[in-house]
Amino acid sequence: MAAPKLPPLPAEKGVWDEHVIDRRRFLEAALGVLAGIGGLLVAVPGARFLIGNSLEPSATKWVELGKIADLPVAAVTQVSYSTRATDAWREVNQRGTVYVSSADGGATFTVLDGTCTHLGCIVQWNEGDSRFVCPCHSGHFTREGEVIDGPPPHRLRQLAVKVQDGALFAEI
């Protein structure tokens, strides 16, 4: 780094501080600051743009699963639903699988989201063993959705339900 070109001070007075900034050093620092500002001006809005709306939870809605009279009260019933939903900029049929059961002969219903809490595969109801089994990594759940065996970290998600006009609805 070139030393700043300043006339020497009288010897009895002292010397210039060796860190006195010269033009080149100032320009280098200024360039660094400007480049940094430019980089941030691109990176920050760019990152916000990329994150977009991805962190917003999707809106829940009540989906009809069927007429109460048609649902078997003793068994666990697999229900595949389809509902109109907004997927980013597209209107789509959002589809999914839930399991409906009743422990009190049809007075109240339990609706479990069929999505395995391990890595998201859809579990199957095994009537013989009376348990849900995930085909991916052999996670096992009770009829109520509690983990019995395998890698799932927690129970199956239980959905809020309501009965309206003789039909069962779940909040999806």
Partner 1 sequence: MNRIFQWFDERTGLSGPVRDFLNYPVPKYVHRNFLYTLGGLTLISFLIQVVTGILMAFYYDPSTEGAYNSVDYISYQLPLGWLIRGVHHYASSAMVILVSLHMLRTYYFSAYKKPRELNWLTGVLLFFLVLSFGFTGYLLPWDQKGYWATKVGTEIAGSVPLIGSFLMHLMRGGDMLGQATLTRFYAGHILLLPASVAVLIVAHIFQMRFHGMAPAITKKAQAQSKIFVPFFPDWAITDTLCGLGLLALLVYMTWANHAPLEFPADPTSNNYVPRPEWYFLFYFQLLKYFPGALEPVATILIPLFIFGSMVLLPFVDLSEERRPWRKPVTTLVSIFYIIVIVVFTILAMAAYA
CB atoms within 10 A of CB 150: 15
Query: Looking at the DSSP assignment, which residues form a beta bridge with residue 80?
Result: 97
x/- mask, partner 1, residues 20-59, rule CB under 8 A, reads ------------------------------xxxxxxxxx-
Query: Do residues 83 and 94 touch, judged by C-beta distance below 8 A?
Result: yes
Chain residues 100-159 in contact with partner 1, contact rule CB under 8 A: 114, 118-124, 135-138, 147, 150-153
The bridge status of strand 167-171 relative to strand 158-159 is unpaired
Kindly state the smallest distance separating residue 41's Cβ from partner 1, in Å.
Answer: 20
Start-to-end CA distance of the chain, whole Å, equals 66
Q: Show the site string, 72-91: x = touches partner 1 by CB under 8 A, - = not.
A: ------x-x------xxxx-
Please state, in angstroms and rounded to a whole number, the distance separating the CA atoms of residues 33 and 69: 72
Binding site for partner 1 (CB under 8 A): 50-58, 78, 80, 87-90, 92, 94-97, 114, 118-124, 135-138, 147, 150-153
